Amino acid sequence: MNGAQAMVKCLELEGVEMVFGYPGVAICPFYDSILDSDIRTILIRTEQNAAHAASGLARVTGKVGVCAVTSGPGATNLITGIATAFADSIPLVCITGQVNSELIGSDVFQEADITGAAESFVKYSYLVKNAEEIPRIFREAFYIANTGRKGPVLIDVPIDVQNTAIKKFSYPETVNLRTYKPTVKGHAVQIRKVMEQLQKAKRPVICAGGGVLLSDAQQMLRRFAHQYQVPVVTTMMGIGAMQTEDELYFGMVGNNGSPCANRAMNDADMIIMVGARVADRAVNQPEIITKDKVLVHMDVDPAEIGKNAGPTIPLVGDAKHIFENLMEIEISCDHGLWVQTLYEYSKTMQEKRRPNPDYIDPAAFIRKLSDRMQRDAIYVADVGQNQIWSCRNCIVRDGKFLTSGGMGTMGYSIPAAMGAKLGLPSRQVVAVCGDGSFQMSMMELATMRQHQVPVKIIVIANRYLGMVREYQNNTYKGRYSVVDLSGSPDLSLIAQAYGMRFLRLEKREDEDEMIGAFLQGDDSVLMECVIDPMDVVK
Amino acid sequence: MKKIYSVLVENRSGVLCKVAGLFSRRAFNINSLVVGETDDPTVSCMTIVSSGDDHTLEQIEKQLNKKLDVIKVKTFDEVSSVSRELMLVKVKYNRSNRRDIMEIAQVLQAQIVDMSRTQMMIQLCDVPERAELFLKMLQSVSIVEVARTGTVALSKCHDQEN
């Protein structure tokens, strides 16, 4: 057995079913060995999307997503994907080929210091110097990626290490790292304090972030909220933690969030932040959530607690465990009146959109579309105006809502949707992007075709980089700079070129019928939804 | 405010880069950083002196703890620790100021460790403030070169090790 065979063996032992990637000389031994394995390989069309596809798969299956690319430009192309996963704490193992270890540092062909370059975007990285270390390193990498605060781990393997024979392959059963012992269980004293405060609170609110989904704590959150009648709002990454139609759910917070959710946060006397970073887009004035309020901050990463807002009760641990522990303490409380107040707000504080009646209203369209999707469908939003319309209007039931929240990486939706569909083939998967983000990833239509991945794609087309245009309109008095997307291709021809069904929606009266046609069957379909070029999110 | 971080790390290649990178990435100050192996060859000790407000100093500790190569972070202020810095100063001298220089060295318990007909090298090992003072006192003579180790520190001795 050589190093490359050992790498593949490790992936098999970790239960990896699929590797996304792009070969090159430095990773060829690995791609040669994988031919002898049942692991499926997906040839992506640019390396960045390998990480996004692995991220989509990881987010719907809860498993670690794996990608493997070559050295030099292959590895550097991957960085945006790694950084995107890092910002949203998505577990990935990213394997890069590296030049011969004796040549490292001499600037040979396709050499890049990828462990150095990616350092600030990875949870951890390895440069493998000895093939004998491969089993231990892979075992650790998968453990690190998918425990504690999850995130991407990079393994850089020089080609000579992949080709070196190893004496004995033994896969470690356990991982024992003296530097890494994530705190999963919450501190009992703190847990009791939370429940004491909840009993006293008149107007408590739970603000759920992506951490709830990452620890698969949605059911626990819902049970907890209903048991004590605590209203719930989410961050962008937390969308789907509650079902949209749950009577205790009041929408997304933040400067692009729902007015009612923000009002709930402002009026609350107790905020329970769970699995959320208190990032600027969600809470742009952290002093508001700490002043005159009890702030409970629960997170698996102690460094997030107190980073942006000083909590009254810090609580380190995994969301699922914490909710279980909280439920063990019985209290009696009644927040019915507060919930009633929020109902009133939600009725009166609707966002005021004035859509142009001559065009499709993207907000209403997304509501209708998501309402008619299968109950457990996966909705992947891209970045831009389409993301904001999606966040505010997408109805999530038993499925998932995926988007690049922290990094805001355009072009995320198509590869991530593809990864999601490959991870859960029985689910309906819909990617919604703008015409800018579509063109950043449309090369992956070939990947979808080659590997028969039936993803349904909607392009909300306004022939502008709409989010930036809107910003320039508000901030630079309408001086539009480099946001005009004329020259974009005819999408019907693109669909034809890639063998996809195509629909173009332009008139409101066609909406219902077109949505029906779009969602019908389990095939790849591209739908262009033409909107007013001047439409705005605010 | 100043704080001293004594950081035990895995003695592996690239670790210094990761820790230093953390400081630049998050815009934390480094006043000094010293690395050396400990009694355990698999463990290195980094002594980092940083300054900032309370919030920043707390974040530094948390972010250091989060790094996967960091085994343990201990923090202390100047009161609860013993800190030392080693400094070598090379100065030019002549007949008229030789005596002054030697007097300053004597008062501050510095040693002359090397000498030529025109230059001498003085070594000082003391708390960082005294090193500053020494440099200040030597400002009247012409300094050729200065090399400083930065602060190393350990918490004061206790009867029970914690």
- Of residues B132, B155, B100, the one with CA closest to residue B32: B132
B143 and B95 both lie in a single domain: yes
On whether both A24 and A148 belong to a single domain, the answer is yes
CA distance B69 to chain A (A): 6
Neighbour count for residue A133 (Cβ, 10 Å)? 16
d(CA A463, CA A506): 14
Q: CB-CB: which of A120, A124, A301 is closest to B68?
A: A124
A277 near B CB under 8 A: no
Q: Mutate which of B62, B65, B71 to disrupt the A interface (most A C-beta within 10 Å)?
A: B62
Answer yes or no: do B63 and A303 touch at CB < 8 A. yes
What distance in Å separates the CA atoms of residue A122 and residue A318, rounded to the nearest whole number? 20
A18 belongs to a structural domain: yes
Q: Which residues of B touch A141 (CB under 8 A)?
A: none
- A-B interface: how many C-beta pairs under 8 angstroms? 36
User: Which residues 79-138 in chain A show a CB within 8 A of chain B?
Assistant: 115-116, 119-120, 123-124, 127
Do residue A179 and residue B66 have CB atoms under 8 angstroms apart? no
Same domain, B99 and B67: no
Q: Quote the ipTM score.
A: 0.86
- Across the interface, whether the CB atoms of A303 and B18 are under 8 A apart is answered no
Check residue A284 and give its pLDDT: 80
pTM: 0.94
CATH number at B97 reads: 3.30.70.1150
Q: Are residues A410 and A497 in the same domain?
A: yes
> From the list A120, A179, A302, which residue is nearest B68 (CB)?
A179
Phi and psi for A275 in degrees, rounded to 5? Answer: 60, 35
Report chain B residues whose CB lies below 8 A from the CB of A301: 66
Are A388 and A337 in the same domain? no
Per-residue DSSP letter, A187: P
Q: Are residues A397 and A301 part of one domain?
A: no
Q: Considering only the beta carbons, identify the residue of B62, B63, B70 that sits closest to A179.
A: B70
- A123/B14 Cβ within 8 A: no
The CATH number of the domain where A274 resides is what?
A: 3.40.50.1220
Q: Specify the pLDDT at position A290.
A: 80
Chain A's closest residue to B42, CA to CA, is A178
| Residue-level pLDDT, tens digit, chain A, 538 residues | 999 999 999 999 999 999 999 999 999 999 999 999 999 999 999 999 999 999 999 999 999 999 999 999 999 999 999 999 999 999 999 999 999 999 999 999 999 999 999 999 999 999 999 999 999 999 999 999 999 999 999 999 999 999 999 999 999 999 999 999 999 999 999 999 999 999 999 999 999 999 999 999 999 999 999 999 999 999 999 999 999 999 999 999 998 999 999 999 999 999 999 999 988 888 888 887 788 899 999 999 999 998 888 888 999 999 999 999 999 999 998 899 999 999 999 999 887 888 999 999 999 999 999 999 999 999 999 999 999 999 999 999 999 999 999 999 999 999 999 999 999 999 999 999 999 999 999 999 999 999 999 999 999 999 999 999 999 999 999 999 999 999 999 999 999 999 999 999 999 999 999 999 999 999 999 999 999 999 999 8
Q: What is the pLDDT of residues B145-160, one digit of tens each?
A: 999 999 999 999 988 7
Domain that holds residue B89: 82-153
Backbone angles phi, psi at A72, to 5 degrees: 55, -120
Q: Which residues of A touch B59 (CB under 8 A)?
A: 303, 306-307
**CB nearest B62 (choices: A115, A177, A303):** A303
* Residue A411 exposed, middle or buried by CB count within 10 Å (0-12, 13-18, 19+): buried
How many domains in chain B? 2
How many structural domains compose chain A?
3
Q: Are the beta carbons of A93 and A153 closer than 8 angstroms?
A: yes
CA A217 to chain CA centroid, Å, is 16
Q: What is the pLDDT of residue A299?
A: 96
In a domain, B159, yes or no: no
- Domain membership of residue B26 (yes or no) is yes
Per DSSP bridges, beta strands B70-76 and B2-10 are antiparallel
**pLDDT on residue A301:** 95
Task: Flag whether A182 is in a domain.
Answer: no
Residues A157 and A8 in one domain: yes
DSSP string, B23-82: HHHTT---SEEEEEE-SSTTEEEEEEEEE--HHHHHHHHHHHHHSTTEEEEEEE-STTEE
Q: Could B66 and A180 be called an inter-chain contact, meaning their C-beta atoms sit closer than 8 Å?
A: no
Question: Are A334 and A220 part of one and the same domain?
Answer: yes
Which of B45, B76, B107 marks a domain boundary?
A: B76
Q: Do A179 and B59 touch (CB under 8 A)?
A: no
Q: What is the CATH number of the domain that holds A437?
A: 3.40.50.970
In this prediction, residue A109 carries a pLDDT of: 96
Inter-axis angle of helices A362-372 and A511-519, to 10 degrees?
Answer: 40
Among the partner-chain residues A116, A178, A302, the one whose CB lies closest to the CB of B62 is A302
Query: What is the rounded CA–CA span in Å between residue A412 and residue A87?
Result: 13
Whether residue A205 is found in the same domain as residue A328: yes
Nearest residue to A366 via CA among A485, A527, A496, A206: A527
With contacts defined as CB-CB under 8 Å, which chain B residues touch A177?
68
How far apart are alpha carbons A279 and A125 in whole angstroms?
Answer: 26
pLDDT of residue B161: 54
User: Is A465 a member of any domain?
Assistant: yes
Inter-chain residue contact B69 with A302, CB threshold 8 Å: no
pLDDT at A281: 83
Q: Which of A211, A153, A157, A198 shows the shortest CA–CA distance to A7? A: A157
- Report the pLDDT value the prediction gives residue A426, as an integer from 0 to 100: 97
Does B67 lie in the same domain as B86? Answer: no
Q: Of B10, B62, B63, which has the smallest distance from its Cβ to A179's Cβ?
A: B10
Query: Do A394 and A438 have their domain in common?
Result: yes
Which among B42, B57, B76 is the end of a domain? B76
- Cα(A264)–Cα(A286) distance, rounded to whole angstroms? 15
Q: Which residues of chain B have a CB within 8 Å of the CB of A302?
A: 62, 65-66
For residue A303, the chain B residue with the least C-alpha distance is B62
Question: Is the sign of the CA dihedral A96, A101, A103, A106 positive or negative?
Answer: positive
Residue in A123, A180, A301 to test binding to B, most B beta-carbons within 10 Å: A180
| Segment B36-83, tens digit of pLDDT | 999 999 999 999 999 999 999 999 999 999 999 999 999 988 788 999
Pair B64, B126 in one domain: no
In this complex, do A119 and B71 lie within 8 Å of one another by their Cβ atoms? no
Note whether A271 and A296 are within 8 A (CB). yes
Q: What is the pLDDT of residue A280?
A: 84
A355 is a domain residue: no
- Which are the contacts of A83, defined by CB distance < 8 A and separation ≥ 6? A121, A407, A409
**Distance, CA of A6 to CA of A135 (rounded, Å):** 7
Report yes or no: A165 at the B interface, CB cutoff 8 Å. no
Going from the C-alpha of B50 to that of each of A445, B8, B30, B60, B151, the distances in angstroms are 51, 16, 5, 9, 11
Same domain, B64 and B32: yes
Is the residue at B106 inside a domain?
Answer: yes
Pair B125, B87 in one domain: yes
H helices of A125-258, in order, are: 134-145, 159-163, 188-200, 210-214, 218-228
Q: Which of chain B's residues have a Cβ under 8 Å away from the Cβ of A178?
A: 71
Angle, CA of A422, A428 and A434, to the nearest 5°: 90
What CA–CA distance (Å, rounded) separates A319 from A249? 18
Structural domain includes residue B28: yes
User: Which of A124, A97, A127 lies closest to A32 in space, CA to CA?
Assistant: A97
Residues A300 and A339 in one domain: yes
